[in-house]
Structure 1
Amino acid sequence: MSGRNYYVVSYDIMDPRRLQKVHKTMKGFGEPLHYSVFRCDLTLKGRAELLVALHQLIQHDQDRVMIIDLGPADGRVAERIEFLGVRTREPDRGAIIV
C-alpha cells in the first residue's frame, strides 16, 4: 500500500531541550495545529521514519507521544478535525515539483 494517511501527533515532553528537539523534528513531518499538536500527511515509509525519529528523541520513562491515524489523505479528513475559536491556516496544497 503506497497511499498516504493523515495523522494527528500530540506530545508531552518533560524536558525543555527535548521539547524543542521534538518540535523541530515534527516540523519536518507535518503542519503544526498547536505547539505540541501536528497534522501529518505520511506514507507508510514516512510514518516509520517519524516513529524512528521520535523514538530516538524522547525519554520513554518520562515523555509521551500520541499518534492518531485519521485515514486516507484523499478522504474526508478535513471534516474530522473541528476547531473552536481561531482556526489554523490550511497548508498550501499547490503543485509539487519533483
Structure 2
Amino acid sequence: MAGNERLYIVTYDIGDQKRWRRVFKVMEAYGRWLQFSVFQCRLTPRRRAALGARLDGIIKPSEDHVLIIDIGPADAVDPRVESLGRPFESIKREAVVV
C-alpha cells in the first residue's frame, strides 16, 4: 500500500465560512495542516479519489476554488521547500489507529 502513495498539496479558497469549515474538517481527515487553507497529504489512488469526491460535494463551483497538486511518489520525492518562520516537514509514513 505504501508504494502507491503520492504526495499532494491541497489549497483552497472558499467563498462561504460554513463551507470553509466543512472543507477544513474533511482535509483534517486526509492530511497535515500547513497553513490557513493549505494541507499536505499522502494518499493512495483510492483515498485521492475519495478526497476529490468529498470536496466536490461541499464546494460551490461558482464561488470556490480547490487546487490538488500532485508532487509525486510519496517515498521517492523530496520536496524542495523554502520555509520562512516555522520549519516545513514532509509527511512521513506512519501507522494510523482508527
Instruction: Using the aligned pairs only, state the percent identity.
Output: 41
Match of 1:45 in 2: 46
TM-score (ref. length: structure 1): 0.85
Q: 1:29 to 1:64 in 2, by over 3 A?
A: same
**Structure 1, unaligned runs of 5 or more:** none
Taking structure 2 as the reference length, what is the TM-score of the superposition?
0.85
The count of aligned residue pairs is: 97
Q: Which runs of 4+ in 1 moved over 3 A?
A: 88-98
Unpaired runs of at least 5, structure 2 = none
Q: CA deviation at 1:76?
A: 2.8
Q: 1:53 to 1:96 in 2, by over 3 A?
A: closer
Correspondence 1:81-96 to 2 at 5 A:
81-88=81-88, 93-95=93-95
Instruction: Measure, in 1, the Cα distance between the counterparts of 2:39 and 2:59.
Output: 16
CA RMSD of aligned residues (A): 2.4
